[in-house]
Structure 1
Amino acid sequence: MDKPNIVIEGREISPYQPPYIIAELSANHNGKLETALRIVEEAAKAGADAVKLQTYRPDTITLDSETEDFRIKGGLWDGRTLYELYEEAHMPWEWHKPLFEHAEKLEIPIFSSPFDNSAVDLLEDLNAPAYKIASFEAVDIPLIRYVASTGKPMIISTGMADAEEIQEAIEAAREAGCKQLAILHCVSGYPAPAGDYNLRTIPDMIERYGLVTGLSDHTLDNTTAIASVVLGASIIEKHFTLDRNGGGPDDSFSLEPDELAALCRDSKTAWSALGAVDYGRKSSEQGNAQFRRSLYFVKSLKKGDVITPDSVRSVRPGFGLSPKDFDLVVNRRLSAAVDYGTAVTWDLVEKE
C-alpha cells in the first residue's frame, strides 16, 4: 500500500517526513488578543509547524440554558454551564484576521477548528489553508461535508468516536470532495492519563483506514506524543500556553514554550532514529573496527611455513580475517614471510 500524505502550505505530512507539530491555542488567550498574538509568536519560535485556533461563538455551539442537561458534571469544569464555559473560552471572530496576518508575518501556517458552517465561511474569507474537525464534532456529518466542500486538507480528531463512527466521518469527507484527509487518535479527557491512550491503536488505524494518522495529545508531558512517533504518528497536536498557571480553562493541561520547543526537537529526533531496516555497519561505527576481534600472527614465520594453531590468535583490533576463519587458515602454508603482529589476510595464505 502506498504511504498516504497530505500537504499544508507546501509542507508534506507523511511517514516519510518529520512529524508535523500543531500548537493548539484553544482558550489560552484568556480573553486578551495580545496574549493570543504572543502565543503565535512563541509557537513559531519553538519550532511548531502550525498554530490552530477554535472558531465558534457560544450560541453556535450550545444553548444559553441553566437546566441540568447543559451543566457540566465532574472534571476540570465541574458545575459550570456549557454556555458559561464557551462564553469565556471562545475566540472573538474579529480577532481571527489579525491573528492570521500575524502568523503570515511570522511565516507559520494558521488554521482552525470550525464548529458550524458560519465559522467555515469566516475561515474561507481568511483563506485558511486547512481545517481541523474537533473530536466532539467527528459525528457532525453535515459539518464534515461542508468543510470537505472547500477542497482544503482536513484533519479529523477521533476522541470519543468508535471504529464505525470514524469510518462514517471518513466516508462523509471523501464523498463530499475531500482529497487530502488525516485522522488523529485522541482521548477526550482534559487532562488525559497516558494509560488511557493505548497507542498501539495508531498502527491499527493506519492499516485500517489508510490515511495519514497522528495524535491529539491531552497528557501533561511529551512522553506519550514522542512515543506515538515510533508507532507511526505523522502529526502531533498539543495545547499550548504562555503560562500553565494563567488561570484559563485550558491552561492547566497545556505545554509552556520550553516544553513545546522540546517536543518539536525530540519528536523529530525520534522520527530520525526510526530510519529504515539496515543491518550494515553505520557511519558512526567505522572508527570502532579497532575494538573488534580478528586473526593476527603471534609468531614470525617464513614463506612456505605451515600455519600452526599456536601461531595465530583472535585478538583486537579487527583489521584481519574474522575469527570464524581460524579453521580455514590453520594447516595452510604461507605465501609470504610474516612478522609477529601481522594481520592474517587471504593474500598471505597459499591457496589449497
Structure 2
Amino acid sequence: MSMPFAKRFSIAGRVIGDGAPPLVIAELSGNHKGSLEQALALVDAAAKAGADAIKIQTYTADTITLNHNGPEFCITGGLWAGKTLYELYQEAYTPWEWHKALFERAAAHGVPLFSSPFDGSAVSLLESLNAPAYKIASFEINDIGLIERVAKTGKPVIISTGLATLSEIEEAVHTVKSVGGNQLALLHCISGYPTPIEDCNLATIQDLARRFDVIVGLSDHTKDSIASVTAIALGAQIIEKHFTLDRNDGSVDAAFSLEPDEFAAMVRDIRRAHAALGRVNYDLKPSEQGGREFRRSLYVCADIKQGELFGEHNVRSVRPGLGLHTRYLPQVLGQVAACDIAFGTPLSGNHLTTPLKEKC
C-alpha cells in the first residue's frame, strides 16, 4: 500500500504546508537577458524583496526542442510571435556554467534556489549542485520519464498543471507516487502569457487539494498580484511569480513579471492575507476587549414611578449593554415597576415585581 503524500515538507529547511506560512517563489526564468551579472542581480533583488525561494530553469535550446523552422516549430502569436522555438529558448536559457554561481549567491542570502529541469541531463547537473527541490513546468507535465527521474531523487517535487487535462494531472501524480515520492505539491496554473484575470479560475485550487490530498498553490502568470493574494484565501500554500528588474528592459518574460517593489508588496499582502485567515475561533479577541459592554441591553427610556407598568414607551433595547439581556423584553413588558426608576437606568431584575424565567 502506497504512503499518502506529506502534508508538510521542507525545502532547504523552509517548511511548507499545514500551519506554515505560504512559500513565495520568485521565478527568474529568462529575465537575465543573457547576462550573468543581471542574473546575479535578480537573485539579490528577489532576496531583498522577500522571496522565500528563487527558481531558475535548466535547459538548453538543444535539450528542449529542435533547430527547425517548420510550421510546428514557429510561434505565430503572443509575446514571442515570429520566433522559432529554438530561437526563443536560445535567448531565454540560463547557461549551465552559471548555475553554481547562482546557487552560491542565493545561499549567501539564506534563500534556497532550485530549478525546473527539462531533461535527465539537467537533473544530473542539479543533483551535482545539491538542488533542494524540483519543479516540473506545465509544458513538461506529460513527460512521464522526466517526472520519474525527478521523483526518484527523493526530494520535493512541485508540478504546475497548466495545459493539462484532469487525467494528465492524475497520471503525473500517480507517476510520483509509483516511484516512492511522497513530497508533492500541485500548482494551479494557466499557461497564458500573460494570463487574463478572468481565465484564472482560482476555485480549482480547492478542488486540486480535495482530489489529490496534496499541498497546493498557484503559478501566476497574470500581470499583477491580485490572483496570488486571492489564492491564499483559497488554501494556496505556494505562490510562484515571475520576477524582473525592469518590465521595460526587453527581457523575455518581463511582460508578466513583477518588478522588485511590486514583488515586495505582493509578499506583504500574501503575509497579511495568510494572517487574516487564522483559524476557526469564536472566542473574544484581544481587539474586541471592552466592546461587549456597548452591545444592546434593556434601558429605561423615560422616568418610571413605582407601580407603573413597563411598556415600549419606557423600556427599550439600546446600547450600551449593562442592563438586562434583550431576550427578556417580552417578560418585562406589562410588569409592574417595583420602585421609582430614573431615565437612563440599566434595567435589572431588582426593578421587577415578578422574577424572570430563564429561557432554554
Correspondences of 1:175-194 after superposition (within 5 Å): 175-194=178-197
- The residue number in structure 2 matching 1:111 is 114
5 Å matches for 1:131-210? Answer: 131-210=134-213
Residue identity (%): 54
Residue aligning to 2:315? 312
Deviation string, structure 1 residues 203-243 (Cα, Å, up to 9, x no partner): 11111111111111111011111122222211111100000
> CA 1:142–1:324 in 2, change beyond 3 Å: closer, same or farther?
same
Change (3 A) 1:297 1:84: same
Map 1:19-38 onto structure 2 (within 5 A): 19-38=22-41
Residue-by-residue CA offset, 1:288-309 (whole Å, 9 max, x unaligned): 445432112346779x867622
Q: Distance in 1 between matches of 2:215 and 2:156?
A: 11
| Alpha-carbon distance in 2 for matches of 1:14, 1:332 | 60
The residue that corresponds to 2:70 in the other structure is 67
Q: CA deviation at 1:189?
A: 1.2
What is the match of residue 82 of structure 1? 85
Tell me: CA distance 1:4–1:297, structure 2 relative to 1, closer, same or farther (3 Å): same
Measure, in 1, the Cα distance between the counterparts of 2:6 and 2:103.
Answer: 31
**Structure 2: which 5+ runs fail to align?**
none
Contact 1:289–1:319 (8 Å) recurs in 2: no
Match of 2:19 in 1: 16
Task: Supply the distance in 1 between the matched residues of 2:70 and 2:282 (Cα, whole angstroms).
Answer: 64
Q: Per-residue CA shift, 1:30-49, capped at 9, x if unaligned? A: 11111111111111111111
Deviations for 1:230-284, whole angstroms, at most 9, x for unmatched residues?
Answer: 2221111110000001111111211001111111111222222223344555433
For 2:42, the equivalent position in structure 1 comes to: 39
Equivalent residues of 2:5, 2:214 under 8 A apart: no
User: 1:260-271 to 2 correspondence within 5 Å?
Assistant: 260-271=263-274
Larger mean CA deviation between 140-149 and 326-335 belongs to 326-335
Return the alpha-carbon distance in structure 2 between the equivalents of residues 212 and 152 of structure 1. 15
Q: 2 CA distance for matches of 1:332 and 1:40?
A: 77
- Contact 1:5-1:211 within 8 A present in 2 as well: no
Q: Distance in 2 between matches of 1:336 and 1:286?
A: 34
2:323 alignment partner AA: G
Partner Cα distance (1:142, 1:345) in 2:
77
Question: In the alignment, is the contact (CA less than 8 A) between 1:149 and 1:177 conserved in 2?
Answer: yes
Q: Is contact 1:15-1:232 (8 Å) kept?
A: no
Give the letter for the 2:31 counterpart: N
> What SS is found at the alignment partner of 1:30?
coil
User: Is residue 128 from structure 1 mapped to residue 119 from structure 2 by the alignment?
Assistant: no
Contact 2:245–2:259, Cα closer than 8 Å, also in 1: yes
Q: Does 1:351 pair with 2:355?
A: yes
Q: TM-score, normalised by structure 1?
A: 0.91
Secondary structure of residue in 1 paired with 2:202: coil
Structure 2 equivalent of residue 7 of structure 1: 10
Instruction: Indicate the SS of the match to 2:87.
Output: helix
How far is the alpha carbon of 1:311 from its aligned partner?
A: 4.5
Which consecutive residues of structure 1, in runs of 5 or more, have no partner in the other structure? none
Whole-Å Cα distance in 1 between the matches of residues 297 and 206 of structure 2? 43
2: distance between equivalents of 1:301 and 1:228? 58
The normalised TM-score by structure 2 is 0.89
In terms of mean alpha carbon deviation, does 270-279 or 93-102 score higher? Answer: 270-279
Moved more, 87-96 or 6-15: 6-15
Deviates more, 1:232-241 or 1:336-345: 336-345
Q: 1:20 to 1:345 in 2, by over 3 A?
A: farther
Q: Indicate if the aligned counterparts of 2:6 and 2:183 stay in contact, CA closer than 8 A.
A: no
CA offsets 1:148-174 (integer angstroms, 9 cap, x no match): 111000000111110000011111111
